[in-house]
C-alpha cells in the first residue's frame, strides 16, 4: 500500500445545542478531516482534537501542524503492507495520538474499501448492532437536566451519563435518581476534582452509579488508584488512558475498573485493539467514548464498538443529537431500543458527502 495523496480539511460545524463540560463550553466545532488516497482508493478519518488544549494537550492546530510537518513526511512515498503497520511507522513521533489516530483511521477505511469488506469486520468486530448511551452536558437548571434525560430515555438510549463539576454534582445526581430510580446512570467529571475531594465523591455512593468517569487529574493514575480503594463505585478512566502502557499501569495499580476507549486518544485502531485485547484478558469492561464527532468520526466509533470487549453502551449516538445536517449519507440513526445497526457496506459503511464537506471547509491542503 502507498499513500498517494493526503487532503487535510478544516470544517466548521455548529452544534444543535451547546455542550458544557467541567473544562468549558463548546458551541461549534472546528474539525480536521483526513481524506487519504491509497493506491487510488479513498479513505476518510477524523481528528478528534478539540479547539483548545483542555481535554488533552492536543488541539486541531497542533494536529494539523504535526500531520503536515511530521506524519505526512514519514508516509510520503513509503510502501507498507497493511494499515496495521502504520502505527509503528509513526512511532518516532511521540504523542500526538489524535493526529495519528485520525490519519491511521483513514488508511484503515481505505484498506477495507480496497478489500471490499466492512471496516468493522476487517478490524475483527463481531457485533451487528451496538448499544448506545448518551452524554449530557452540564445544564443551567435541574429541571432542564431532568427534561433532557426524559427525552433521551424516550428516544431509547440505554444509559445516561451526565457531566459534573464541583458545585454541580450531588444535586443533579440526587434529582435524577429520585426521578429515575432504575436507569443506568453515570457521571463524567473530566478531571475536575482533587484527591482531597474523596469525601464528596464518596457521597455519591448511595446513588448506585454505574461508574464515575475520570474524576481526578488527566494523567494521574496514582491518585485514581488511591481513590478507587475508597469507593465501591467503579472508576472509569478516559483522559488517563492514552497508551497501552498507561492502560496496563492503570489496571495493575487498580486505578480503574472500567475503561472508556477513544480511537483518537490512543492513536488509532492498532493501539485501540492492543488495549482492547489487554482489557479482555484482564476482564476490564470497555465502552466507546465520543468527542462530539461529525459523521466520519461517528462511523469509526461504530466500527470500533463492534469489537467483542465493548460490553457496555458507548457514547455513540444519532447524528441529529449534535448536527442539523451531518456530512455522511445516510445519517447515523438509533433504533427505539437504543442501538445502532452496524452498516454492511465496505469501509466505514457511510458515504462522506463531499459537496457538503467542501461547503463547510475553511482551510484545505493537498499533500502529494
Ligand atoms: O469526556 O467523554 C468525554 C465530549 C468532548 C470531550 C470529552 C468528552 C465528551 C463527551 C461527549 O462526553 C461524548 C459524545 O460525543 O457524545
Ligand atoms: Mg470522558
314 Cβ below 6 A of ligand 1: no
How many angstroms is it from 159 CA to the middle of ligand 1? 14
Give distance in angstroms: CA of 68 to centre of ligand 2: 28
Residue 100 is a catalytic residue: no
What pLDDT digit, counting tens, does each position of 329-358 carry? 999 999 999 999 999 999 999 999 999 999
- Predicted confidence (pLDDT) per residue in 271-301, tens digit: 999 999 999 999 999 999 999 999 999 999 9
- What gap in Å lies between CA 323 and CA 331, rounded to an integer? 10
Question: Is residue 114 lining ligand 1, measured as CB closer than 6 Å?
Answer: no
Phi, psi angles (nearest 5°) of residue 84: -65, -15
Is the beta carbon of 291 within 6 A of some atom in ligand 1?
A: yes
Question: Coil, strand or helix: which one is 89?
Answer: helix
CA distance 332 to 302: 9
Mean pLDDT of 226-232: 98
Confidence of residue 303 (pLDDT cuts 50, 70, 90): very high
Query: Exposed, middle or buried: residue 252 (CB in 10 Å: 0-12, 13-18, 19+)?
Result: exposed
Q: Who surrounds ion ligand 2 at CB < 5 A?
A: 188, 213, 238
Report pLDDT digits (tens) over 118-139: 999 999 999 999 999 999 999 9
Which of ligand 1's atoms lies nearest the C-alpha of 239? 1
List 14, 100, 262, 282, catalytic entry:
262
Which pairing describes strands 134-136 and 258-261: parallel, antiparallel, or unpaired? unpaired
Angle in degrees, CA 7, 95, 255, rounded to 5: 130
Cβ atoms of 186 and 213 within 8 Å: the answer is yes
Average pLDDT, the chain: 98
Amino acid at each position: 500500500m502507498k499513500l498517494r495523496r493526503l487532503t487535510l480539511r478544516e470544517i466548521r460545524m455548529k452544534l444543535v445545542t451547546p455542550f458544557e463540560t467541567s473544562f468549558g463550553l463548546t458551541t461549534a466545532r472546528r474539525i480536521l478531516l483526513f481524506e487519504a488516497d491509497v493506491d487510488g482508493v479513498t479513505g476518510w478519518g477524523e481528528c478528534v482534537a478539540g479547539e483548545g488544549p483542555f481535554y488533552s494537550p492536543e488541539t486541531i492546530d497542533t494536529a494539523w501542524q504535526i500531520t503536515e510537518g511530521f506524519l505526512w513526511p514519514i508516509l510520503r512515498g513509503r510502501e507498507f503492507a497493511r494499515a496495521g503497520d502504520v502505527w509503528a511507522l509513526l512511532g518516532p513521533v511521540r504523542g500526538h495520538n489524535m493526529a495519528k489516530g485520525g490519519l491511521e483511521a483513514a488508511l484503515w477505511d481505505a484498506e477495507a474499501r480496497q478489500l471490499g469488506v466492512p471496516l468493522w469486520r476487517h478490524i475483527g468486530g463481531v457485533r451487528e448492532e451496538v448499544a448506545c448511551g448518551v452524554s449530557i452536558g452540564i445544564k443551567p437548571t435541574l429541571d432542564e437536566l431532568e427534561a433532557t434525560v426524559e427525552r433521551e430515555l424516550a428516544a431509547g438510549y440505554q444509559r445516561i451519563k451526565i457531566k459534573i463539576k464541583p458545585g454541580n454534582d450531588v444535586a443533579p445526581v440526587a434529582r435524577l435518581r429520585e426521578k429515575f430510580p432504575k436507569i443506568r446512570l453515570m457521571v463524567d467529571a473530566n478531571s475536575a476534582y482533587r484527591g482531597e475531594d474523596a469525601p464528596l465523591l464518596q457521597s455519591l455512593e448511595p446513588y448506585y452509579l454505574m461508574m464515575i468517569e475520570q474524576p481526578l487529574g488527566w494523567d494521574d493514575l496514582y491518585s485514581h488508584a488511591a481513590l478507587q480503594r475508597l469507593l465501591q463505585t467503579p472508576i472509569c478512566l478516559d483522559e488517563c488512558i492514552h497508551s497501552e502502557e498507561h492502560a496496563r499501569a492503570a489496571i495493575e495499580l487498580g486505578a480503574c475498573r472500567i475503561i472508556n476507549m477513544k480511537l483518537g486518544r490512543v492513536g488509532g485502531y492498532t493501539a485501540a485493539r492492543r488495549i482492547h485485547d489487554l482489557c479482555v484478558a484482564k476482564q476490564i469492561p470497555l465502552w466507546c467514548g465520543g468527542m462530539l464527532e461529525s459523521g466520519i468520526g461517528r462511523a469509526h466509533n461504530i466500527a470500533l464498538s463492534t469489537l467483542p470487549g465493548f460490553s457496555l453502551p458507548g457514547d455513540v449516538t444519532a447524528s441529529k443529537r449534535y448536527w442539523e445536517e451531518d456530512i455522511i449519507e445516510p445519517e447515523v440513526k438509533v433504533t427505539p431500543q437504543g442501538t445502532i445497526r452496524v452498516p454492511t457496506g465496505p469501509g466505514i459503511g457511510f458515504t462522506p458527502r463531499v459537496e457538503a464537506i467542501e461547503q463547510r471547509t475553511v482551510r484545505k491542503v493537498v499533500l502529494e
